[in-house]
């Protein structure tokens, strides 16, 4: 059975906020911009979408809104992971009811667990899900690394279809590909490693820079899959300075500043995140201008 959720580039979309809560007008315009520019999927309420500071009610409303706005044009992936497995199960069930096509499950943070605990936790969530599950390995945020052997065990579950790999270690990605083969799709979780990940059989990227440049991010993948490896690498290198600047402060601080400058809501985050330092923001805007992005300072 082909369990692939998407091929190409998915935007890890920001959640625009206003004083009253979620700015759904800005959110809708951003979603339409993404799809109009040719993005292949949208990930809502993930790390970049500040999903961990959404209330349960907001989380359900965000996923429901996205599902209705997307209206089947591209797959919708909902971030439903938590350090509390029971909470992740409830958010996953809610996202399924709200119209998500897949869910994204981060490894438990703070309390962490062991590799056996990861298998038990993700199995419990996948058992409760009606849609494919994409696991998310991001050791820099969670304090733990999901090992290739663990992924190979989890890949046997019928609803665990992929991993978003943000460990930053291409040797680990290669081992995952070796152990999992076609049983598990691999998506790059690092914008600066799209082409290397694709070269080892990856299916695409879940991207932050795609908030600003969805067409270009999708084109990196499209060029690769057309066999234009050099062209894909060239385009990734063209965007590399911006990709790096988007990580100069904790994601999504720079992404939120960039989207606000493009007219997609306010430069507003939820504590503990605070707006980008002005010097860094100005550098970000200059890089955006160099790439032809219209910004309002």
| pLDDT of 1 above 60 | no
CA 151 vs. chain centroid, Å, equals 18
Question: Which residue from 227, 260, 237 is spatially nearest to 14, judged by alpha carbons?
Answer: 260
Residue-wise pLDDT for 30-53, tens only, equals 999 999 999 999 999 999 999 999
| pLDDT of 251 above 90 | yes
Specify the DSSP element, H or E, that contains 109: none
Residue-wise pLDDT for 256-281, tens only, equals 999 999 999 999 999 999 999 999 99
Architecture of the domain defined by 8-228: Alpha-Beta Barrel (3.20)
DSSP 276: P
Instruction: Name the one residue in this structure whose structure tokens are 């084109």.
Output: 219
Confidence tier at 2 by pLDDT (50, 70, 90)? low
Confidence tier at 85 by pLDDT (50, 70, 90)? very high
- What is the phi-psi region of residue 294: left when phi exceeds 0, alpha when psi lies from -120 to 50, beta otherwise? beta
Question: Which residues, in sequence order, are bridge partners of residue 231?
Answer: none
DSSP 193: G
Residue-wise pLDDT for 188-234, tens only, equals 999 999 999 999 999 999 999 999 999 999 999 999 999 999 999 99
Question: Which residue from 210, 46, 71, 228 is spatially nearest to 134, judged by alpha carbons?
Answer: 46
Residue-wise pLDDT for 150-185, tens only, equals 999 999 999 999 999 999 999 999 999 999 999 999
> 239-244 — which CB contacts under 8 Å span 24+ positions?
239/191, 239/209, 239/213, 239/291, 240/192, 241/287, 242/209, 242/212, 242/213, 242/284, 242/287, 242/288, 242/291, 243/191, 243/192, 243/208, 243/209, 244/192
Residue-wise pLDDT for 99-136, tens only, equals 999 999 999 999 999 999 999 999 999 999 999 999 99
- Contact by Cβ (8 Å): 29, 16: no
What string of DSSP letters covers 228-272? -HHHHHHHHHHTHHHHHHTTSSSTTHHHHHHHHHTTSS-S---TT
Question: For residue 4, what are the CA distances in angstroms to 43, 101, 132, 187, 286?
Answer: 15, 11, 8, 11, 37
Question: Which residues, in sequence order, are bridge partners of residue 226?
Answer: none
Confidence tier at 3 by pLDDT (50, 70, 90)? confident
Active-site residue numbers? 136, 164
DSSP 54: S
When the pLDDT of each residue in the chain is averaged and rounded to a whole number, the result is 97
Quote the tokens at residue 286. 């200059």
d(CA 179, CA 240): 30
């Amino acid at each position: 059975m082909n369990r692939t959720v998407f091929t190409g580039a998915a935007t890890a979309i920001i959640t625009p906020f206003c004083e009253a809560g979620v700015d759904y007008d800005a959110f809708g315009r951003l979603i339409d911009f993404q799809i109009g520019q040719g993005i292949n999927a949208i990930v809502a309420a993930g790390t970049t979408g500040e999903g961990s500071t959404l209330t349960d009610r907001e989380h359900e409303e965000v996923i429901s809104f996205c599902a209705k706005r997307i209206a089947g044009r591209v797959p919708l992936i909902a971030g439903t992971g938590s350090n509390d497995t029971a909470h992740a199960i409830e958010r996953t069930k809610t996202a399924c009811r709200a119209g998500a096509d897949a869910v994204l499950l981060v490894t438990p943070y703070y309390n962490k667990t062991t590799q056996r605990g990861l298998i038990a936790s993700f199995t419990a969530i996948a058992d409760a899900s009606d849609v494919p599950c994409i696991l998310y390995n991001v050791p820099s945020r969670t304090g733990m690394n999901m090992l290739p052997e663990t992924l190979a065990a989890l890949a046997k579950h019928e609803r665990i279809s992929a991993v978003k790999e943000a460990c930053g270690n291409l040797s680990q990605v290669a081992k995952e590909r070796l152990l999992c083969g076609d049983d598990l799709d691999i998506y790059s979780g690092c914008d600066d490693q799209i082409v290397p990940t694709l070269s080892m059989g990856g299916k695409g990227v879940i991207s932050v820079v795609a908030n600003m440049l969805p067409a270009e991010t999708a084109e990196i993948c499209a060029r690769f899959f057309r066999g234009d490896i050099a062209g894909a690498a060239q385009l990734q290198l063209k965007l590399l300075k911006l990709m790096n600047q988007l990580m100069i402060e904790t994601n999504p601080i720079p992404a939120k500043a960039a989207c606000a400058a493009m007219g997609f809501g306010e430069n507003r985050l939820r504590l503990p995140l605070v707006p980008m330092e002005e010097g860094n923001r100005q550098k970000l805007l200059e890089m955006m201008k160099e790439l032809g992005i219209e910004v309002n300072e």
